[in-house]
Amino acid sequence: MMPDMHQVGEGQTQQEWQKVPEAPAIMADHVSKWYGQVIGLNDVSLAISGGVTGVLGMNGAGKSTLLKIIVGRLRPSQGQIRLFGTDPFKNPAPYHRLGYVSESEKLYDWMTGLDFVTTLARLHGMTRDEAKDRAMHVLNFVGLSDVVNKEIGKYSKGMRQRVKIAHALVNDPDLIVLDEPLQGCDPLARTTIMNVIRELGAMGKTILVTSHILSEIERITEQIVILHNGRLLALGNLHAIRELLDHIPHRILLRTPNPRELGRTVLPHPSVYGVRFPNPGELIIETNSLSDVHQDLPSLIVESGMDVTAIENPDDNLQSLLGYLIGGRA
């Protein structure tokens, strides 16, 4: 039984009451899930508490399966999952502290945004007034205060994602699980949603967010979990993983009116071992130290006096990262 933190017992002082260490928000212990012959998740163990964690993986890597197991939609075929110390499939109690945004785009289109969030807030046991106040608050937080009385069916994709996020925040959860919240959103909506997630992280919430786009996650958090073919491939700081990648062959693509001239300027750089011209107006620099080249590239460009319209890193994506992690090369 958990002790009552507010109670002062006989002969005891307040100082004697030590807070019982709380169970981690998410604890997965050798969790596997298979659908018939197909393995969805393979022996994943992790514990997450606090901060924003990005779950990265290609389509079919097991991101959604992991999230569905975490929120109690699926039951693990093997292993154990605990949400604040409780099995979420058997007991809905931890849902008090959970906000979940599924990847599904399905919503009650006939309801207004306010209606939707208020109704679902009432399922947390709030009175009508409380629910409405909270709904207005979270809708405002996600930037939908102008359209609260509009039917969800008339919302844009970005608005739909945001109303889903609003509904997940209405109970002021400690843990927020977002499955591909940026999918299908326009750049403006992406930025808004990313800001919302960052802000929530700053508020001290535990946030788990999935994506298959590295740059998206990078803009939100540094703490990542990488899944591949149902397995947990890496868990930790994105920068640390990137540093590992730094010394393997990389390409940098530059768009410029005179690529050959620029190629001549950068070729003497000690970290550049080759240049190529795949298309007119394009220069590819091949390097085995990405950070060194990026550090010196601006001065080299200024030195050459040439116009550069774009600098891209074609290898700086999840696929390359996965390629390196799996096969040791980008």
Partner 1 sequence: MQPNVPPVGPPKRNLSETVWTKLDRKATAIAEFTMRQYRKKRSTWSVGAVGGVLVVIVLLFYIDAMSAGIDSWDNDGDGLIDEDPSNWDGSQAKSVGDVDDDGDCWARESFDRDWNGDGIDCNVIYNYDRNGMLTSVNADPNVDEDPNESEFLEESMHRSFLLGFGKFGFLFVLGIFIPLFLATGLIRDEQEAGTLHYLVGKPIARAEILMYRLLGFIGLAWPYFLGLIFLSALVTGFFGPGDSIYRFSDLGIWFGVLIATFLTVLAYAAIFASFGIIAPRFGVLLALLFAVWEFFMMFLAMFETTREMGLASLSVSFWGAEIINSTGWLVWGDYELMTGQAQSIGFFAEIALWTVWYNPFPTTTPLLNMVISIVVLLMLVGMFVLIGQSSFKKRELN
Contact residues: partner 1, CB under 8 A: 4-8, 14, 17, 68, 71-75, 92-96, 98, 100, 102, 104, 106-108, 110, 119-120, 122-127, 167
Which is nearer to partner 1, 167 or 251 (by Cβ)? 167
Which is nearer to partner 1, 144 or 322 (by Cβ)? 144
For the bound state, the minimum distance from the C-beta of residue 68 to partner 1, rounded and expressed in Å, comes to 7
For the bound state, the minimum distance from the C-beta of residue 70 to partner 1, rounded and expressed in Å, comes to 11
The closest of 23, 29, 24 to 232, measured between CA atoms, is 29
For the bound state, the minimum distance from the C-beta of residue 258 to partner 1, rounded and expressed in Å, comes to 53
* Structure tokens that stand for 207 in this block: 């946030």
Four-CA torsion 26, 88, 177, 123, nearest 10 degrees: -140
Alpha-carbon distance of 330 to 328, in angstroms, equals: 7
CB atoms within 10 A of CB 301: 18
Which is nearer to partner 1, 17 or 141 (by Cβ)? 17
Residues in the chain: 330
Which is nearer to partner 1, 120 or 147 (by Cβ)? 120
For the bound state, the minimum distance from the C-beta of residue 222 to partner 1, rounded and expressed in Å, comes to 28
Which is nearer to partner 1, 124 or 269 (by Cβ)? 124
For the bound state, the minimum distance from the C-beta of residue 253 to partner 1, rounded and expressed in Å, comes to 40
Which is nearer to partner 1, 120 or 185 (by Cβ)? 120
CB 205 within 8 Å of CB 173:
yes
Q: Which residue intervals of the chain are DSSP H helices? A: 63-70, 113-122, 128-141, 157-169, 187-202, 214-220, 238-246, 259-266, 290-304, 318-327
CB atoms within 10 A of CB 189: 20
For the bound state, the minimum distance from the C-beta of residue 38 to partner 1, rounded and expressed in Å, comes to 12
